Chains A and B, each alone.
Chain A
Amino acid sequence: MREKISRRDLLRLAGGSALGLWFTPIPWKLLDDVSIWTQNGRWVTSPPRGEIQFRYSNCTLCPAGCGVRARCVGGQPISLAGIAPQSGSRGALCAVGLGGHHLRYHPQRVTQPLRRASGISASFQPCTPEDIVLTVSEALATTRASGSGDLAAILDERPGRVTSLMYRNFLSGFPNGVYLNPVSDSGATLHAMESAAEKPYGALGIDLENTRTILSFGTPLLDGWGNPARLWKMSEGLQDSSESHLKIIQAETHQSRTALLADEWLPLRPGTEAALALGLAGILIKEKLIDMAALSRQAIDLEQGAQGSFRELTEKFSPRTTAAITGVSEDKIVSLARELVQRGPSIVLGGGDPGAGPLGPEEETAIAALNFVLGNVGRRGGFLPRRELPKWLKEPSKNLKPASSLRDIPDHSIRVLFVDALPSGNAIPWTLLEKKLVRDNPVVVSFSPYLLGISRNAQFIVPSPVYLESWEEVLTPLDSPTTSYSLSLPLLVPPGGVQEPFDFIRRVAVAAGVHLAPEFQDVSPKDLFKRRVEQFHRDRRGTIFSYRNESETRVKDVASADSMWAMFCDGASWRDDPPSSTSPIASRFSLLGKAANAAERLEAVGHGRLEIQRDPATEFPLVLMPEGWRGAVGQNGLSPVMTKIYQESGLRHLGGEARVNVETGRRWGLTDGGPALIQTRCGSKVARVHFDDAVMPEVIQVIVGPNLKEFHESQEVDGRNILCLCNLDDDGVWRVTRAKMSGV
């Protein structure tokens, strides 16, 4: 056996091996590994690992301030849920809130101060905080100069916080300082009633648990208003035949999501809310369906007041006239008025659409008056005053600028405007602010975590922390009859470069030579919150609900202020004791409101918003009506995962898109899903149109919401949204605008 191994043998061996290899596990194992490798390559994102724990906070993305349970991996929140007993719904949160922990990574996030390069459409470039402080303090100095009518203003969309007090204190250092209330007010009905009282009631809340009927003039009760968990709980028997359940009657032009679930929907012609409210009040008074003696006793101007006679005014809105104005049938109006009494306690609410803005002072007065006529203030199932938060600061009123409404500010008067970051959930039309700014070089500083909304139009952006990156206060939701308080906690450390608005204003104060009250010096907001909490303990009022163990403790039983603070720092909310009695409140009220020429203005608007009446129907035959969804009106960032709702399902339409009735759309030569040119006196814009028979004919419902681009990185987002097409009434109302539309 001494054979020489030839080349042929080698080849044979190789060939045989190659063939034999396939009968071994090797190639198959290799294939298996390939598949595993393709699943675990660098390009496949893998979730983080670590200890899972729960941390608690409160949501600041809208004023509802829901309690939040954050599931965390190594301290990093990976999902958010509501606090089950608090919300009464297993831990529900709204879609916006569910993505709150993503906001830190928003593609439009700003982490360093920015300055506008030049002009309105130009881009932004990084700058230093000192640059901004310098420019701002110089501009502030000019407002102080004698003879200058220019104003220095802060727009605070979430008033009542410690930071708000600091703003007011800061502004009191300027003779021309103005502290501005939110642009639109979700609780306008409540505030209209508060301000119509002869002696102040204080803040009003709703005794929803005992209400049987709500007539809502476009208030999005079931789509983000007040405390949503409470409203959902109360609405459980909706469309039920039972007598006891809460009945919602939704009066508004288009069929909103609330209208869809409501027991009844009354399609109102655009801008005719005042007529229906006055018409209903008229029937109640004329048919004496209510306690007339009590009304005469309490109302200053039922028969004759300084502003005229409310009764006379309502007589001008007979059921027939009202029907002609509103488009609701005469019979329906009469039966509705009777139902409000028979199915009482019934309350009337108006406005609050986050995109449509205020209903208007006249409508708000008319709705408040209807509530007064129904005897709703201070009664069970009606509006109850709630107590104020415990005082913790010797608030010397001369050191705090009182709040003003943007409506009352003359045009072209604001030289320096700060816009606070914390969102109200409502839209702010840039045109509304622009109108109030001086024409030459106004300075607008936006405290914002994102380059979105108003920030896009500002001169400076001071990067502020996002939700879950800072200490923040959560105050009572507007509908609540009991006062509450909780804190939003920083579960994450903000990126370097981020500035608290509180700290920034303090820097400006130093540069501008304003002496802040000692309470605001050398402290952080957190210190001030702690002082507030200590005051709760001193007052021994209310109960504290701890999120972690879902237990309630009476403040009286909490051992020390420090242990109370520790509870707040671990996620808790304080709730005042319920009011001891619901006896009617003695204060008298004015049905026509306190404004000058109230009766005349109310009568004029009663025939429909002036914008509707103004234009001959031929030039702008359609009506443009904006609509929005709380917290998603393009003002602030939304989680990129919200693309599921907007981009990947069309469940909600994107900002700038329009809905029109099918027939209207066809008549104007449009196609479903296609583009259309919308024109108003204020400008024009191309919008994508959706045909939708839930929209009244001749109406264009435009969506105020996020832009698709803002979800995707490094995309330019237009700062001038669809609201720039809206006509701004002198009273700051933009919800109806004459418009026309054509195919593109």
Chain B
Amino acid sequence: MDRGYMVRGVTRSSFSKFLMWILPWTALLALGLYAAWLCFSRGLNQTHMDNRFAFGLWIFLDLTVIALGAGAFFTGFLVYILKKEELKAVINSAVVLGFVCYSGAVAVLMVDVGQPLRAWFTFWHPNVHSMLTEVTFCISCYLAVLFIEYLPIILKNRKLRQVPSFLVFEFELHKLMVVLAGVGTILSFFHQGSLGGLYGVLRGRPFAFREGLAIWPSTFFLFILSALAAGPCFILLTTWLVSKISRKRLVRPEVFSELGQISGILLIVYTLLKTVDTLVWINGTSPARGFPAYQYYQWKPFGTWILFAEIVLFGLLPAVILLSRRLRAHRGWLLTAAVLVCGGVALNRFVLTIQTLALPTLPFDRFLSYLPSWQETAAFLAIVAYGVLVYSFSFRYLNLFPQERELARP
């Protein structure tokens, strides 16, 4: 029944099947919206955060999705600035993913703050020394950029194209893409870095605090690198997942390999720098502030295994896989590595957000634990559901994978 809205030359499942697919996600989204409403109307006591665990699941989610969403700007950068034409196959999908990740993050942030009505104060009375100010400015600007990048993809929809002015508008927008990609890259560099800086500047939390270059702590650069490495892998994973679920061939195999290789190169650099950073921190930064680093790992369950996992299991290992042409060519290895990379970036964000707050600073402090409430979990899942829904609609009605039509031809 909605055939007329779909991209010419590709097939999609029946409308009823599509309805069955989106129904549970919509339900999840509704539940999350209810949880968010509870938080708005009754306050953040609906969460299990507290004065000591001032940040919880949501901040972890924000940091992770924004890292994963880095694929959007990075692919844009590769395609439009470095002219890596073969990645055009995934650029549309990457933009949608980026938009989903960033808008989701901003939405959950609005629930997370105690006074969302005052969110604009940051623009009105900005504290230029705060990493969070930088993050707020860059993310909101970049979200606008993503929206503008998303717009032409929407306007290319078969039905919308029939409006002539839309077509003109879309054409004009398209010419802007190079500029947008450039702006997006700069903005993204800053906010990805600032998100890392967010924790790196916490001099009161020696577990997170890092020395750095000029005004930026080392986590600033590590976050950029890890996001750059994770972005392509996330695109790779989602593309594979969508192709599995829709049972369609969406891109040529070389694209996967290309994404993997780019990620691998960045990951090995990241792993190297992360190792250096960790060593400097263990032997210098942390003890100098009165906290020998071994202490951090004496609290169960956060033993030294977490360091090993972060650097070797989720860093070195996938980097080696991705850099090896032979392993990369093997779909199983490639996907495993991609999962490890995305998992690694999530683990890194988890360590910085959750472990930092769990560790005691005062001598009479205790090691704290925190378990999110159902409202927090529901809001978290709603963001996932939101992402799935936006992507599903985009996939069904928009041209996310230009190669799909060619590959579908017999």
A binds B: yes
Q: What residues make up the interface of A, taking CB atoms closer than 8 Å to B?
A: 28, 31-32, 34-35, 38
11 contacts between A and B (CB under 8 A): A28-B124, A31-B120, A31-B124, A32-B124, A34-B117, A35-B117, A35-B118, A35-B121, A38-B115, A38-B117, A38-B118
The residue on B at minimum CB distance from A32 is B124
Distance between Cα atoms of A31 and B118 in the complex (Å): 8
Extra inter-chain contacts (8) besides given A31-B124, A35-B118, A35-B121, CB under 8 Å? A28-B124, A31-B120, A32-B124, A34-B117, A35-B117, A38-B115, A38-B117, A38-B118
| CA distance in complex: A666, B118 (Å) | 50
User: What is the minimal beta-carbon distance from B12 to any residue of chain A, in angstroms?
Assistant: 37
Query: Which residues of A lie under 8 Å from residue B121 when comparing CB positions?
Result: 35
Cβ distance A694 to chain B, nearest Cβ, rounded Å: 15
CA distance A32 to B120 in the complex (A): 10
When distances are taken between beta carbons in the complex, the residues of chain B under 8 Å from A34 are 117
A35 neighbours in B (Cβ, 8 Å): 117-118, 121
How close is B45's CB to chain A, nearest CB, in angstroms? Answer: 14
User: From residue A603, how far is it (CB to closest CB) to chain B in Å?
Assistant: 46
**Contact residues in A for B117 (Cβ distance below 8 Å):** 34-35, 38
Q: What are the residues of chain A within 8 A of B115 when measuring CB–CB? A: 38
Minimum CB distance partner of A28 in chain B = B124
Q: How far, in whole Å, are A34 and B120 apart by their CA atoms in the complex? A: 11
A261 to chain B, nearest CB (A): 18
Interface centre among A32, A34, A35, A38 (most CB of B within 10 A): A35
| Distance, CA A734 to CA B169, complexed state (A) | 89
Complex-state Cα separation, A34 to B117, whole angstroms = 8
Complex: chain B residue closest to A37, CB-CB? B117
Residues 113-136 of B contacting A (Cβ, < 8 Å): 115, 117-118, 120-121, 124
Q: Tell me the smallest distance from the CB of A586 to a CB of chain B, in Å.
A: 56
Q: What separation, in Å, do the CA atoms of A126 and B124 have in the docked complex?
A: 57
Contacts of A28 in B (CB 8 A): 124
Chain B nearest CB from A531 CB (Å) reads 56
Inter-chain CA distance A662–B205, complex, in Å, is 31
| Complex: A34 Cα to B124 Cα, angstroms | 14
Residues of A within 8 A of B124 (CB): 28, 31-32
User: From B118, which residue of chain A is reached at the shortest CB distance?
Assistant: A35
Expressed in whole angstroms, the minimum distance between the Cβ of A695 and any Cβ of chain B is: 19
Please name all residues of chain B whose beta carbon is closer than 8 Å to the beta carbon of A31 when the two chains form the complex: 120, 124
Min CB–CB distance B149 → chain A (angstroms): 22
Enumerate chain B residues within 8 angstroms of A32, measured Cβ to Cβ: 124
Within the complex, the shortest CB–CB distance from B139 to chain A, in Å, comes to: 20
Q: Roughly how many angstroms separate A28 CA and B120 CA in the complex, as a whole number?
A: 10
Docked complex Cα distance between A357 and B121 (Å): 58
The distance in angstroms between the C-alpha atoms of A32 and B124, with both chains bound, is 10
Chain A residue at minimal CB-CB distance from B51: A648
Contact with A along B98-122 (1 / 0, CB 8 A): 0000000000000000010110110
Residue of B whose beta carbon sits closest to that of A38: B117
A308 CB, nearest partner CB in chain B, Å: 53
Q: Write the nearest CB–CB distance from B96 to chain A, whole angstroms.
A: 28
- Which A residues are in CB contact (< 8 Å) with B118? 35, 38
Alpha-carbon gap, A28 to B123, bound state (A)? 11
> Bound complex: CA of A38 vs CA of B40, how far in Å?
13
Which 5 A-B residue pairings sit nearest by Cβ, starting from the closest?
Answer: A35-B118, A38-B117, A31-B120, A34-B117, A35-B117
- Nearest CB on B from A40, distance (A): 13
Whole-angstrom CA separation of A32 from B125 in the bound complex:
11
* Cα–Cα, bound, A34→B119 (Å): 12
CA distance A28 to B117 in the complex (A): 13
- Hey, which chain A residues are within 8 Å of B120, CB to CB? 31
Residue of A nearest to B115 (CB): A38
Closest chain-A Cβ to B5's Cβ sits at a distance in Å of 28
B307-341 to A contact mask, C-beta < 8 Å, 1/0? 00000000000000000000000000000000000
Q: How far is the CB of B165 from chain A (nearest CB, A)?
A: 13
- CB-nearest residue of chain A to B120: A31
Tell me the bound Cα distance from A40 to B117 in angstroms. Answer: 14
Min CB distance A692 to B, Å, is: 14
In the assembled complex, how far is the CB of residue A550 from the closest CB belonging to chain B, in whole angstroms?
Answer: 40
Taken together as a complex, chains A and B put the C-alpha atoms of A47 and B140 apart, in Å, by 38
Tell me the complex Cα distance, A35–B121, Å. Answer: 9
Complex Cα gap A124–B235 (Å)? 68
Nearest-CB distance from A638 to chain B (Å)? 24
A32 to B118, CA, bound (A): 9
Docked Cα-Cα span, A418 to B224, in Å, equals 77
B50 to nearest A CB, angstroms?
11
> Which residue of B is nearest A35, CB measured?
B118
The residues in B between 328 and 367 inclusive whose CB is less than 8 angstroms from any CB of A are: none
The smallest beta-carbon distance between A643 and chain B, in angstroms, is: 15
B361 smallest CB distance to A (angstroms): 18
List the A residue with the shortest CB-CB distance to B121.
Answer: A35
CA gap between A32 and B121 in the complex, in Å: 9
* A617 CA to B115 CA, complexed, in Å: 60
Inter-chain CA distance A28–B118, complex, in Å, is: 12
Residues of B within 8 A of A38 (CB): 115, 117-118
Give the docked Cα–Cα distance between A84 and B118 (Å). Answer: 45
B210: shortest Cβ distance to chain A, in Å? 33
Query: In the assembly, what is the distance between CA of A35 and CA of B120, in Å?
Result: 10
Quick one: which of A31, A32, A38 has the most chain B CB within 10 A? A31
Would you give the shortest CB distance from A521 to chain B, in whole angstroms? 57
